[in-house]
Structure 1
Amino acid sequence: MTEMTDQWVRFSRIGDADLVHLSGEIDLANAGEIGRAIVSRIRESGKVLIDLTTVSFLDSAGVRLLDALVGDLFAAGKRTRLVVGERGAARMILQLCAFRQDVLATDLDRAAAELSS
């Protein structure tokens, strides 16, 4: 991962799931790089949480990135949740786009517990 990607993506673990923290603006200028960084890190994971609570802007390229990631992860049998919080840019945009509600969560700890059950 490059220093440039580090400003938008951080990786950690929560329980037995990989946790991807996204922050700042996710748009056409960085969505491809962010997607490559995520895919390279979560290949072996069975459960993935993507925390979008500190994303301040999400354009159509960011929505396409999330849609492709969720689709690919589900196709590979990996349980996934997008944590969008109670309010915020990512939550608003994903709701406006009629994004899959079954993968959206408002609370990180609750989403992690759901994946572990």
Structure 2
Amino acid sequence: MTDQWVKFSTFGDAELVSLTGEIDLANAPDIGKEIVKRVQSAGKVLIDLTTVSFLDSAGVRLLDALVGDLSDHGTPTRLVVGERGAARMTLQLCAFREDVLATDLDRAAADLSG
């Protein structure tokens, strides 16, 4: 069961994936499978990481794979990381793609629409 770490909803015309808590080697593979099942046919995807308290290398690899696969299928994607926090810090330390990071949902949605 992954519903303690991942929730699905919509934000505007995008599929919204909200992650919370610790995303690490113990749960990243299962979370990834759930996300892939839900966003395969989405036109746009927002992944909200603002309530992630810990993100390890398995979580970074998961996000990299998701963003890459969605991009390969022409699905615009943004990661919402807030102004500060564990996910933002970890992704910046890993030199994650800045072009897919946004500070808040409204900005991220606007990026996908514009």
Q: TM-score range by the shorter chain?
A: over 0.9
Structure 1 segments of 4 or more deviating over 3 A?
none
Residues 1:76 and 2:73 aligned together: yes
Matched ranges for 1:1-117 at <5 A: 4-117=1-114
Q: Which secondary structure state, in structure 2, belongs to the residue aligned with residue 21 of structure 1?
A: strand
1-structure distance, mates of 2:3, 2:22: 13
1-structure distance, mates of 2:61, 2:104: 23
**What is the RMSD of the two structures over their aligned residues, measured on CA atoms?**
0.5
Q: What are the ranges of 5 or more consecutive residues in structure 2 without an aligned counterpart?
A: none
2-structure distance, mates of 1:107, 1:6: 22
Number of aligned positions between the proteins: 114
1-structure distance, mates of 2:111, 2:86: 24
- Percent of aligned positions that are identical: 79
How much has 1:20 moved relative to structure 2?
A: 0.2
2-structure distance, mates of 1:69, 1:43: 11
TM-score by length of 2: 0.98
1-structure distance, mates of 2:49, 2:15: 14
1-structure distance, mates of 2:110, 2:97: 19
